[in-house]
């Protein structure tokens, strides 16, 4: 086994680092649905990396496009300059996006995309003479990355508690499992509108004239696969419309086919004013993210009324040529292989397979949408998360890569998965869970 363990690489995220020290798990190559480990084992990737490798690993057309691009134009400045790939990718993305979300701003991570969208929202109102509209409303259990913007609007208290006052003027809609568990897991209509009513209360409390935007993941992914109840997103949209508040969907996980459509906005039939995306945009091959905005919003952000505002925003690597090449090749693969539709077609099979785990030891809830699944385990007394982590370790030993978040197993396989591989995921979990303490 590798000795990387001894090096204590500081780049590992905090929690992963603790786990890493306990048990090094080194991946050396990947292809299609499988990783190969440093001891030569094949591991079925039921998590699409970190929700990003939607077309499967090391896809040839994407690899070749990256190789070709790096040999041709390795870099082009993002400011005052452009390159053909950036324009082509932006227009392909705009075609894919619903309604008039036609303006695309390139970033390099979901966290940057969230910061960018929050800035656009505030600047948009300011440019229209609505300078008091600076408050943002997020949601409990929302995850929007680890930048200061993302942890402020995100609903995971432990992610922000060490960092003092962050973005000021943030409120969080209730989304706790205790309140919303049944509603969010089963999509019950009667709860959806009620949960959204809290938004109306917050708007009244602060006065709409102080509120810039609401940001939500249409389906919360990394905090446990929380599926919105029917009517919930629609009601949020209606309240935002009524009060002139922008609605941002964080589609970093749900974008690019995960739910069986290009974006969750389509799936739920609710169109936001902005969307943040990342991950599947380049199939995880290279960092890239994009904010989509309705045309009027983006133009106002960039120019203000009569080009009156002077604003700078952008990143050294915005629209990086290699990322754009990867993005274009990724979109080709999605289109040529019909992967979004494939996810939709496989969803019922995936659902039936997951729900066959009902009654298996420790399992207390099963949720799914498109090719995302959440299997919630009863927490071990006095040691929450230990049970899920033990399941993760045992699954890995058995050749299966899953993600866990709290005591929830999150499954989000690449959209190229075969039915036999879905069976294998479920069979492996059914075998392992009863052996977990
Ligand atoms: N938003 C959502 C909904 C996410 O799931 C994530 C990452 N899991 C992010 C934002 C942050 O993305 P990144 O890690 O690329 O900064």
What element of type H or E holds 409?
A: strand 408-411
Query: Has this prediction a pTM greater than 0.80?
Result: yes
Domain closes at, from 302, 336, 370: 336
The rounded Å distance from CA 145 to ligand 1 centre is 4
The residue-averaged pLDDT of 390-404 equals 96
Residue nearest to atom 1 of ligand 1 (CA): 144
pLDDT of residue 404: 95
Q: How many structural domains comprise the chain?
A: 2
CA 272 to chain centre: 16
Q: In this structure, are residues 331 and 98 in contact, taking their beta carbons and an 8 Å threshold?
A: no
Residue 16 has pLDDT above 60, yes or no: no
> Are residues 347 and 201 part of one domain?
no
Same domain, 212 and 240: yes
**Residue-wise pLDDT tens digits, 324-334:** 999 999 999 99
DSSP symbols for 200-269: HHHHHHH-GGGEEEEEE-SSB-TTT-BPPPTTHHHHHHHHHHHHT-EEEEE-TTTTTTTTSSSSHHHHHT
Q: Which of 114, 145, 404 to probe ligand 1 with, by most ligand atoms within 8 A of CB?
A: 145
Residue 145 Cβ < 6 Å to ligand 1: yes
| pLDDT for res 133 | 95
Centroid of ligand 1 to alpha carbon of 40 (angstroms):
30
Q: From the DSSP assignment, how many helices (H) and strands (E) are in the chain?
A: 17, 15
Of 336, 371, 388, the domain-final residue: 336
Task: Check whether residue 313 and residue 420 sit in a common domain.
Answer: no
Angular region, 402: left φ>0, alpha ψ -120 to 50, beta rest = beta
Hey, how many other C-beta atoms are within 10 angstroms of the C-beta on 28?
A: 11
What's the confidence (pLDDT) of residue 93? 97
CB atoms within 10 A of CB 413: 27
140 lines ligand 1 (CB under 6 A): no
Percent of the chain with pLDDT over 90: 75
User: Within this chain, do residues 330 and 343 fall inside the same structural domain, yes or no?
Assistant: no
Q: Is 258 in the pocket of ligand 1 (CB under 6 A)?
A: no
275 lines ligand 1 (CB under 6 A): no
Whether 77 shows a pLDDT value over 60: the answer reads: yes
- Same domain for 105 and 229, yes or no, is yes
CATH of the domain at 188: 3.40.640.10
Q: Which of 296, 319, 336 is the last residue of a domain?
A: 336
Q: Are 156 and 224 in contact (CB under 8 A)?
A: no
Q: Return all residues near 314 (Cβ < 8 A) that are at least 6 apart.
A: 78, 79
Residue 77 φ/ψ region, left for φ over 0, alpha for ψ in the -120 to 50 degree band, beta for the rest: beta
Predicted confidence at residue 185, as pLDDT, reads 52
| CB of 147 closer than 6 angstroms to any ligand 1 atom | no
- Among residues 23, 242, 277, the alpha carbon closest in space to that of 144 is found at 277
To test ligand 1's pocket by mutation, which of 50, 112, 253 has the most ligand atoms within 8 angstroms of CB?
253
Distance from C-alpha of 273 to C-alpha of 125, rounded to nearest angstrom:
13
pLDDT of 9 reads 45
Q: Containing domain of residue 50, as a range?
A: 4-55+338-435
Q: Which residue from 15, 108, 109, 110 has its CB within 8 A of the most atoms of ligand 1, so it is best to mutate?
A: 110
Question: Is residue 282 within 8 Å of 256, Cβ to Cβ?
Answer: no
Residues 181 and 35 in one domain: no
* Ligand 1, atom nearest to 220 Cα: 3
- State residue 296's pLDDT score: 87
Residues 278 and 196 in one domain: yes
To test the ligand 1 pocket, which listed residue (279, 284, 289, 374) has its Cβ within 8 A of the most ligand atoms? Answer: 279
Rounded Cα gap, residues 217 and 177, in angstroms: 15
Widest distance between CA atoms in the chain? 67
Contact status, residue 225 vs residue 372, Cβ threshold 8 Å: yes
d(CA 82, CA 376): 47
CATH of the domain at 17: 3.90.1150.10
Token pair for 149: 């913007």
The helix (H) or strand (E) run that includes residue 135 is strand 135-139
pLDDT value for 57: 98
pLDDT value of position 175 = 66
pLDDT of residue 207: 96
Whether residue 373 is found in the same domain as residue 233: no
* Residue of 116, 252, 292 to test ligand 1 pocket, by largest number of atoms within 8 Å of CB: 252
The H-or-E segment that residue 374 falls in is: strand 372-377
pLDDT band of 177, cuts 50, 70, 90: very low
Question: For the chain, what is the mean pLDDT?
Answer: 90
Pocket test for ligand 1, best of 112, 144, 249 (most atoms within 8 A of CB): 144
Share of the chain above pLDDT 70, in %: 88
Check residue 285 and give left, alpha or beta (phi > 0: left; psi -120 to 50: alpha): alpha
Q: Please report, in angstroms and rounded to a whole number, the separation of the first and last CA atoms in the chain.
A: 27
Could you tell me if 14 and 120 lie in one domain? no
Give distance in angstroms: CA of 31 to centre of ligand 1. 24
Residue 190 has pLDDT above 60, yes or no: no
Q: List Cβ neighbours of 64 (8 Å cut-off, separation of 6 or more).
A: 329
86 Cα to the center of ligand 1, angstroms = 22
Ligand 1 centroid vs 252 CA: distance in angstroms?
6
Cα 277 to averaged position of ligand 1 atoms, centre (Å):
8
Query: Which residue, 177, 270, 179, is CA-closest to 218?
Result: 270
- Two structure tokens written together for 16: 């992963």
- Lowest pLDDT segment from 9-18, 66-75, 239-248: 9-18
Helix (H, G, I), strand (E, B) or coil at 70: helix
Residue closest by Cα to atom 7 of ligand 1: 145
Regarding the beta carbon of 250 and ligand 1, being less than 6 Å apart is answered yes
Quick check: CB of 257 below 6 Å from ligand 1?
Answer: no
- Spatial separation of the C-alpha atoms in residues 414 and 412, rounded to whole Å: 7
CA-150 nearest atom, ligand 1: 10
DSSP string computed for 300-360: HHHH-GGG--------TTTT-HHHHHHHHHHHHHHHHTTHHHHHHHHHHHHHHHHHTTTTS
Is 111 touching ligand 1 by the criterion CB < 6 Å? yes
Say if residue 107 is in the same domain as residue 160: yes
> How does DSSP assign 147-213, residue by residue?
SHHHHHHSS-HHHHGGG-S-SSSEEEE---HHHHHHHHHHT-HHHHHHHHHHHHHHHHHH-GGGEEE
Residue with tokens 């040999």: 71
Instruction: Say if residue 332 is in the same domain as residue 353.
Output: no
- Is residue 379 domain-shared with residue 362, that is, in the same domain? yes
- Cβ(223)–Cβ(141) under 8 Å? yes
327 Cβ partners below 8 Å, 6+ apart? 89, 93, 281, 282, 288
């Amino acid at each position: 086994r590798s000795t990387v363990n001894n090096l204590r690489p500081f780049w590992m995220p905090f929690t992963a680092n603790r786990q890493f020290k306990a048990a090094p798990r080194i991946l050396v190559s990947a292809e299609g649905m499988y990783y190969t480990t440093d001891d030569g084992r094949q591991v079925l990737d039921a998590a699409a990396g970190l929700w990003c490798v939607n077309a499967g690993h090391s896809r040839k057309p994407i690899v070749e496009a990256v190789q070709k691009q790096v040999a041709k134009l390795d870099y082009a400045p993002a400011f005052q300059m452009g390159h053909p790939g950036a324009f082509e990718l932006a227009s392909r993305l705009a075609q894919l996006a619903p309604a008039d979300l036609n303006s695309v701003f390139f970033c390099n991570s979901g966290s940057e995309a969230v910061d960018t969208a929050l800035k656009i929202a505030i600047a948009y109102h300011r440019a229209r003479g609505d300078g008091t509209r600076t408050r943002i409303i997020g949601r409990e259990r929302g995850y929007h990355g680890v930048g200061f913007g993302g942890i402020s609007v995100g609903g995971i208290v432990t992610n922000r508690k060490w960092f003092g006052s962050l973005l000021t003027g943030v409120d969080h809609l209730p989304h706790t499992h205790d309140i919303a568990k049944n509603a969010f897991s089963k999509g019950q209509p009667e709860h959806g509108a009620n949960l959204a009513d809290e938004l109306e209360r917050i708007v009244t409390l602060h006065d709409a004239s102080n509120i810039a935007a609401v940001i939500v993941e249409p389906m919360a992914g990394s905090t446990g696969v929380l599926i919105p109840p029917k009517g919930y997103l629609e009601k949020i949209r209606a309240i935002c419309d009524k009060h002139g508040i922008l609605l941002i969907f964080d589609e970093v996980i749900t974008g690019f086919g995960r739910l069986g459509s290009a974006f969750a906005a389509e799936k739920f039939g609710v169109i936001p004013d902005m969307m943040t995306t990342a991950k599947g945009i380049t199939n995880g091959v290279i960092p890239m993210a994009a904010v989509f905005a309705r045309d009027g919003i983006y133009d106002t952000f960039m120019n203000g009324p009569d080009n009156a505002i002077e604003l700078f925003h952008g990143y050294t690597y915005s629209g990086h040529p290699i990322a754009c090449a990867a993005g274009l090749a990724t979109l080709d693969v999605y289109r040529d292989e019909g992967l979004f539709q494939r996810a939709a077609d496989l969803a019922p099979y995936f659902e039936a397979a997951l729900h066959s785990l009902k009654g298996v030891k420790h399992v207390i809830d099963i949720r799914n949408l498109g090719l995302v699944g959440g299997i919630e385990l009863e927490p071990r007394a006095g040691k929450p998360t230990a049970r899920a982590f033990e399941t993760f370790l045992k699954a890995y030993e058995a050749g299966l890569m899953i993600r866990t978040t709290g005591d929830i197993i999150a499954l989000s396989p690449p959209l190229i998965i075969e039915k036999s591989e879905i069976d294998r995921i479920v069979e492996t979990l059914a075998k392992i869970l009863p052996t977990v303490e």
